[in-house]
Structure 1
Amino acid sequence: MVRTDRFQAGLVYSSMTNTDFQTPDQSARQVTETLSASTASVYGSHKTAWTLGILGLVPFVLMAVIFAYAGRSFIAYPMLVLAFSGYSATILAFLGGIRWGIGMVSRAHRRRVLILSVLPSLAGWILLFVPSPWIFAGFAAAFALQGAWDILVARRRELPAWFGRLRLVLTGVVVLCQIVAFAATY
């Protein structure tokens, strides 16, 4: 392939790039290498998302264990309720932010996704005003609804399948932790 460019002085010249001299086998190999690199990049982000998601469960699990063993008799019970509900609201807002980002780049249903993506943040904020133990029941319901939405969208192939599996696991653990906190403080 010949490329023609103009110098600032108005002279015209022709130049050829290295890809102009490649055989079809070399071009195919280059495409394969590019695809392999992008697949590795996707796999790397998939692995990173799983790692960060599992690490994000640590505060939920630790606080649920404290609730289960100490309940209302824990000396720092009010602080534990505040920490657990604050972290829950933060993560719920983060999940809404993920959906906001998806809505920004999506061509289908953009307006609806953007509108719905603010609901987790609002729900988390409103739930902060609910007394315990009902706050935990509310967060369990909010996380279950958000998880169901994410899983449904992944099953419709609007999001990667691994994201749906990730959300299923994370949502299950978070909802279980909320139920433990509810039961321990009821």
Structure 2
Amino acid sequence: MMSSTTPRLPLGLGLAGLLPFVLCAAVVVLAGLPWQAIAMQAFLYYSAVILSFLGGIHWGVAMSLDQGGSTEFNGRMVMAMAPSLIAWPSLMLDARFALLALMAGFLLVRLYERQSDSVARLPGWYLALRTLLTVVVVLTHLVLVIWLSLLPV
């Protein structure tokens, strides 16, 4: 899945960026009640921040690679704002719905990045790295959704 041409720094930073997802999910599932609540809140906040960050990437791509006012530019600018508009309100939802909304946001960004105009503008190593990162991020969200659904009401 990963390209051997992925620069070491983005690879290392991307993998390090997974640590809060994995560690918080582990604490939610394995720790006692006070720590579970703190870890869930930390997970949701971090997820919202990272989802918003992904929008910023596309804002930068639009500014540097697309001609202002073109269809590609306009579409990418709208896409750049969508993650923040999903992330922020999700923080006001019940944890289960927030997890689902954030997970959907990560999947939507990744689907957008798979479109031909994104593939043409984004480095191949970035697309491979984003696939790996998205898989782990979505899996951690799914683990927490399943865990919450198993709790007694």
* TM-score, normalised with respect to structure 2: 0.83
Q: Which AA in structure 2 matches 1:57? A: L
| SS of residue in 2 equivalent to 1:130 | coil
Structure 2 stretches lacking a partner, 5+ long? none
Residue 68 of structure 1 corresponds to: 29
Identity %: 32
Which structure carries more relative contact order (alpha carbon 8 Å, separation 6+)? 2
Residue 161 of structure 1 corresponds to: 124
* Matching residue within 121, 134, 137 for 2:84: 121
CA RMSD, Structure 1 to Structure 2 (Å) = 2.1
Regions of 4+ moved over 6 Å: none
Residue 8 of structure 2 corresponds to: 47
Instruction: Compute the displacement of 1:184 (Å).
Output: 1.2
| Paired residue total | 142
Between Structure 1 and Structure 2, which shows a larger proportion of strand residues?
1
* Matching residue within 82, 95, 107 for 1:144: 107
Higher alpha-carbon Rg = 1
Distance change in 2, residues 1:168/1:154 (3 Å): farther
2:136 and 2:84 mapped to 1: Cα distance? 20
* Matching residue within 128, 137, 151 for 1:174: 137
Distance change in 2, residues 1:152/1:176 (3 Å): same
Contact 2:24/2:39, CA 8 A, preserved across alignment: yes
